[in-house]
Amino acid sequence: MQNNEVRLKKLLESMTLKEKISQMLQIAPNFYLRQGAITGPMEELELTEDIIYNAGSVLGAAGAELTMDIQRKYLENNRHKIPLIFMADVIHGFRTIFPIPLAMACSWNPELVEESARVAAKEASIAGIHVTFSPMVDLVRDPRWGRVMESTGEDPWLNSLFARAFVRGYQGKGLSDKESVASCVKHFAAYGAVEAGRDYNTVDMSERTLREYYLPAYKAAVDEGCAMVMTAFTTVDSIPSTVNQWLLRDLLRGEWGFDGVIISDWGAVKETIAHGVAADGQEAAEKAIKAGVDIEMMSSEYVHHLESLVQKGIVDEALIDEAVMRILKLKEQLGLFENPYRGADPEREKTVLLCDEHRKLARKIAAQSMVLLKNQGVLPFDKNIGKVAIIGPYAEANHILGGWSCEGRNEEAVTLKQGIVAKIGQDNVIVAEGCDVMGEQLNLSSAIAAAQQADAIILALGEHPDMSGEAGSRAFITLPGKQLVLARAVLELGKPTVVVLFNGRPLEITELDYIAPAILEAWFPGTEGGNAIADILFGDVNPSGRLTMSFPYTVGQIPVYYNCYNTGRPKGRENNEFRFCSKYLDIPNAPLYPFGYGLSYTTFQYSDFVLDSNKLTVDGAITASVTVTNTGKRAGEEVVQLYIRDVSASVVRPVKELKGFQKIYLEPGESRKVNFIITEPMLRFHRKDFSFKSEPGHFIAFVGPNSAQLLEQPFELV
């Protein structure tokens, strides 16, 4: 056993059972900051001073001075001088806020996302944070669920690439590097499949669906070395994840070999009572520790019941020892025993957080995250276009950071108006809000007056950031309030107009798509949002974003996703009149905008898609090549996508699955041959007996600019 482990073992042996159990509690910083008694919701935790000064970790505290003060006071009151771990939700930046993850994923640039996580880790660690509850890698198919904003979309393979990128960015050279933070992947597992998109709702699916679609990205984070896993509020196979022994001990620790720390989500241990699998707090504590949850976040069933459960012989103290050892090891890996203040640095905090270099990266990522959905000759605007009217609730709103924006401050965000003024000068910009985001307010006359003075119009529309994120479920996912009324009136004028959307989910914008000549999906673009949008609208950046989550034609179509099954009665072409097939009477099957979709200011042509062989052997490889030509007048980036279909297998298989992509830059007129290597491991799936293998037979390879416009070539696995 290594020296460190020997030392930790000795420390563990010197702790009382009560002290050990307290290490398994995570509480909010209020308990360390208060002067008087704790009141309000925290009161129900009924924590004594002794428990508070033996709790193992704290969540939500940020700031070098604050965290150092809490740590100092804590260590003065802790018999063993075991430092606290400081954890927080650094989801898409700490003080410099990057676009929401669903936006960053549209960059199809894992390296850039890794860079953003690196910066987030640097800023957070300087502010005294040791662990981030990120990445959230829940696969999503239902935009009614507000937390789609935190995810990277509907494809398991792409989600896995981003999961790895986030973990690498956060953990960097290792947890001993004081500018890194430990990564806690969440929410294990399949939280994104809540029924009807209603947060915290039932999740129920086959094990095959769980393994094929929902689990891969968590496994990718574990394989990349994430230090922690957070359990989901929801159920797997009718058992809440937080007390699910199959999920945590058999699969996560057994099958995947994860030996890091498992933490519950906020109150999730206690919520197993409401779920109906624990009669009381004692049973909740028993089931959670037996399932393998090491840290109970913000409920106190462990500290109130584990000691007696051990004394009654119902829970083996060894389970507590192994949990506490994992927590102590994490503190060791973070270097907290050597330096409990780790990277916290009040002086560096003033110069590093939100520095120009970080803002520059935020601007670059935001521009790559935006998706040009429509452009009928409107964009890019010429910088000498004359007067530009910015109309709508997001014309000069600064709440553009999105949910989970940690220490980001709206007042530090570059608004759309500021970005446009910086681009073309104050004298060329007219602003009229026209209506607010949510309400009934509507001032059409001011909006029309502004529009009539302008040579071009930007309609700045969207959701309020509180309409997505946790507990942000919406049954109707249209533009809220009177925004569509405003848009209709302004578009009536027939001037060059682009709609810029600020939103945390795919919206139902079918009518807007019909009446607007140009639409730019800006998502919640973060601190540099206004500058990034201006860079795109005026052509300094050619948009290259591609959707990673389908935009439904209507909410009635949900869930709609590209990697679906064919069914026994596929509809085939959209104009198919045959009644008795899988279709709607009133809408198309296809989404409004499909997975992988996005436009550029130039055009690309795909030709000569060939396979160097149409027979693939188990240890062989096929080279799929396609020629991509920039047929437009501007340089631009194209995301060349490879999909594969397993036409017939022992279980039904998706009509296509993303298996590769290359983001390439082409000058006007330039052609490039893009090659993809297809090998047998890419064809493996969970068969009837859940063995993860390929099966010989017919396959189809597809390449194209998105999941709907594809060239195809058949091949066979022999």
Known catalytic residues?
A: 265
* Closest CB to ligand GLC among residues 148, 391: 148
Q: Which is nearer to ligand GLC, 267 or 496 (CB)?
A: 267
The nearer residue to ligand GLC, 133 or 553, going by C-beta atoms, is 133
| Nearer of residues 119 and 268 to ligand GLC, judged by Cβ | 268
Structure tokens, 36? 């008087």
Residues 163 and 335: their CA atoms lie apart, in Å, by: 25
Q: Which residue is nearest to ligand GLC (CB)?
A: 133
Nearest of 710, 497, 468 to residue 597 by alpha carbon:
710
Minimum Å gap between C-beta 47 and ligand GLC is 18
**If binding means CB under 6 A, how many residues of this protein chain bind ligand GLC?**
7
User: Which residue reads 């055009």 in tokens?
Assistant: 603
Q: Which is nearer to ligand GLC, 108 or 266 (CB)?
A: 266
Question: Alpha-carbon distance 684 to 680, whole Å?
Answer: 7
d(CA 137, CA 115): 18
For ligand GLC, give the closer residue by CB, 186 or 482: 186
- Give min distance, CB of 259 to ligand GLC, in A: 22
Query: Which of helix, strand or coil describes residue 459?
Result: strand
| x-marked contacts with ligand GLC along 50-69 as a string, rule CB under 6 A | ---------x----------
Q: Name the strand (E) or helix (H) holding 348.
A: helix 346-352
Q: Is 265 a residue that touches ligand GLC (CB under 6 A)?
A: yes
Least distance in angstroms from the C-beta of 264 to ligand GLC:
9
The contact mask relative to ligand GLC for 124-143 (x = CB under 6 A, - = no) is ---------x----------
Residue 470 binds ligand GLC, judged by CB under 6 A = yes
Provide the β-strand partners of residue 481.
Answer: none
Residues 77-96 interacting with ligand GLC (rule: CB under 6 A): 89
Cα torsion through 203, 209, 212, 216, rounded to 10: 10
Q: Which two tokens stand for residue 665?
A: 């830059």
- Which amino acid is located at 58 in the chain? V
Residue 283 Cβ, how far from ligand GLC at the closest point, in Å? 22
Spatial distance between the Cα atoms of 277 and 287, rounded to a whole number of angstroms = 9
| Nearer residue to ligand GLC within complex by CB, 188 or 715 | 188
Rounded distance, CA 333 to CA 227, Å? Answer: 10
Q: 372: helix, coil or strand?
A: strand
Strand, coil or helix: 389: strand
Listing DSSP states for 404-434 in one string gives S-TT--GGGS--HHHHHHHHH-GGGEEEE--
Q: How many angstroms separate the CA atoms of 357 and 123, rounded?
A: 12
Report d(CA 233, CA 267) in Å as an integer: 9
Q: Which member of 266, 523, 538, 676 binds ligand GLC (CB under 6 A)?
A: 266
- Closest CB 642 distance from ligand GLC, rounded Å: 33
186, 219, 364, 417: which one contacts ligand GLC (CB under 6 A)?
Answer: 186
Distance of CA 633 to the CA centre of its chain: 35
Tokens representing 199 are 């947060």
Residues at the site binding ligand GLC, with contacts judged by CB under 6 A: 59, 89, 133, 186, 265-266, 470
